[in-house]
Structure 1
Amino acid sequence: MTPYDVPLEAAGFTFRVRVYPAAEPTGAVVVWLHGGAFMFGSIEMPEADEVAKRFGDHGVTAVSVDYTLAPLDALPDLDTADAPEGMPSAEQIQAEIAAAGPRARFPVASLQSVAAFDWAVAYAASFGGDPARVGLGGASAGGNLAAGAAVRLRNRGGASPAALLLAYPVLHSQLPPAGEELAALLVGLPAMLTFPPEQTRAFNRNSVGDEALLADPTAFPAGHDQRGLPPTVIVTAERDRLRTSAEAWAAELALAGVDVAIRTERAALHGFLNEVGDAAALRTVARFAAAL
């Protein structure tokens, strides 16, 4: 079925969701958030569009969120000097995303994520969904937004995600240290794919603006009370510096009594959901659909 856009408003900003109705709906729905260091990305990128279509193959209707991006203040910290072939330069990235519309820092995208979830629950029946089977998920920075929204929903009470589905997310404002095994796997990768802690922290700080907000559990949930969060499925990339964040947070969830499963895609790099037809990407969407 043909996807369609729905305009919404939250936190003083207009945004939209794109609904991908499953041709043969099972009743499951996922509200999905793309990644991009909080500053980049759109619902047109494969990590949003292709993922949403693949959810449909499993009978899951996807609601892709075109949330308001953060300002570009951290762009100079993005080292593209040795970017892989085919990756855009910093100048190309800046030109591409300059037309993304109004920008705003936390908590705008976080509140929009909650609003998108609430909309999906309210209208699930209109596209063959079950309001009790609406999941919330995302990749990279989108995984952060999904997790933060889950914390907001838990604190608020009422409708809660049927499952939290995260691909290579960042849950810490400062990445946990990498062990020898991961450090060895990162050798030889372009700098921009190794996520140096100082660069990642610059992106994270840019997303919130105020340094004090890095400690807000709805901005970066790691290190806070995880009790009462939804059943969670996490998929990481083996050769990804952000893997330390996902692994540490999964341990926190388990200790808090949250039903959590974590899987590592061997040899995969961060952002593999952007690779159309990639086997790891197809497996990941299938795992997420099964959780719903």
Structure 2
Amino acid sequence: MTIEDTVLGHPQAVPGPHGDVDLRVYRPTGTPDAALVWVHGGGFAAGDLDMPESDAVARALAGAGLLVVAVGYRLAGPGTFYPVPSDDVLTAWRWGLEHALGAGVARDRVQLGGASAGGNLVAGAVLRLLAAGEPVPAAVFLAYPTLHAVPPLASPAADAAVQRLPEDERWPAPTVEAMYRGFVGGDPATAPAAAVPGTADLTGFPPAFVLTSEVDGLRGSADDFVRRLAAQGTSVLSVCEPGTEHGHLNRPGPQFDASLRRVATWLRNAPELAG
């Protein structure tokens, strides 16, 4: 295995219900310690496999000895709404799980994870697996996820910090609601539960690591999800990365590096950390 194999990622097209799903497989040298099927964000309608939140994250984790399958799901837009992106993520998860097992990764070290809108798709995919009676990931990783069409309020201190941001970076409620309308193709209040996971029944949801950005208008969504998981007895690790704003895994730097160290530790040790 050459360093180029690890850094560049291998393209892979996997058949799905809406056509091939584009993936990139990032392999470390030797047997991987763990594996992650990874879903980037972008407000459901933007983002790709080249953005740092996908490629740089995958490279960093592969460099730390982990196998990563990055998912190029179909973006929401005219004629493309939920469940199409969700179907693509489920296709990627099923393929990625088998690929990781074939690469020698233990079943309880293969996880599904996503950032922002990708976190929504991941949580929704888990709910769909539960509803279908299929095995779910042993644990999941959600980075600053959006899980509600109407974001719950964060703490007063967190909200005050957001108000100091430029207006177009605050994620006000009308902006979030419009984003979800574009995702589901209509009123999110009538959307399937898996499209708005923050309001769904979370019975059976696996242990989770929820990473938040310190100053983020969507942070209340993640915090509420954490509280609901904890209240029902699901093991959950919640970490707020200091000095960051929403989408900090799309901006390589010291905080990016700190978060990726946390993620690598979680992926290797989730059963113990979550227990």
* Amino acid in the other structure paired with 2:258: R
Query: Residue in 2 aligned with 1:154?
Result: 130
In the TM superposition, what is the alpha-carbon distance from 1:214 to its structure 2 partner?
5.0
In the TM superposition, what is the alpha-carbon distance from 1:57 to its structure 2 partner?
2.5
* Amino acid in the other structure paired with 1:290: T
Please list the CA deviations of residues 26-45 of structure 1 after superposition, one character each: whole Å capped at 9, or x if unmatched: 34110000000000000100
Query: What TM-score comes out, normalization by structure 1 length?
Result: 0.84
Q: Indicate yes or no: 2:254 matched with 1:284.
A: no
Q: Secondary structure at the match of 2:146?
A: coil
Please list the CA deviations of residues 176-214 of structure 1 after superposition, one character each: whole Å capped at 9, or x if unmatched: 124431222023312221001101110011100132565
Q: Which moved more, 1:221-230 or 1:120-129?
A: 120-129
Query: Residue in 2 aligned with 1:235?
Result: 211
Higher helix share: 2
Query: Residue in 2 aligned with 1:38?
Result: 44
Please list the CA deviations of residues 85-126 of structure 1 after superposition, one character each: whole Å capped at 9, or x if unmatched: xxxxxxxxxxxxxxxxxx611001111111111001222244
Distance 1:27 1:152 in 2: 27
Query: Residue in 2 aligned with 1:87?
Result: none
Q: Which moved more, 1:45-54 or 1:252-261?
A: 252-261
Distance 1:213 1:12 in 2: 25
Distance 1:20 1:53 in 2: 7
Change (3 A) 1:19 1:116: same
Q: Indicate yes or no: 2:159 matched with 1:183.
A: yes
Distance 1:198 1:213 in 2: 14
Query: Residue in 1 aligned with 2:271?
Result: none
Q: Aligned to 2:199, which of 223, 228, 242?
A: 223
Query: Residue in 2 aligned with 1:68?
Result: 74
Change (3 A) 1:178 1:250: closer
Task: Output aligned runs, 1:138-153, within 5 Å.
Answer: 138-153=114-129
Q: Secondary structure at the match of 1:51?
A: helix
In the TM superposition, what is the alpha-carbon distance from 1:215 to its structure 2 partner?
4.1
Task: Output aligned runs, 1:1-292, within 5 Å.
Answer: 1=3, 2=5, 3-71=9-77, 104-211=80-187, 215-276=191-252, 278-292=253-267
Distance 2:193 2:76 in 1: 18
Distance 1:270 1:256 in 2: 27
Distance 2:188 2:259 in 1: 34
* Amino acid in the other structure paired with 2:15: E
Query: What TM-score comes out, normalization by structure 2 length?
Result: 0.89
Pairs aligned (count): 261
Query: Residue in 2 aligned with 1:92?
Result: none
C-alpha contact (below 8 Å) 1:148/1:219 kept by paired residues: yes
C-alpha contact (below 8 Å) 1:214/1:220 kept by paired residues: no
Structure 2 stretches of 5 or more lacking a match? Answer: 268-275
Please list the CA deviations of residues 203-252 of structure 1 after superposition, one character each: whole Å capped at 9, or x if unmatched: 01110013256542211111221121111001101110110000001011
Q: Percent of pairs identical after alignment?
A: 36
Structure 1 stretches of 5 or more lacking a match? Answer: 73-102
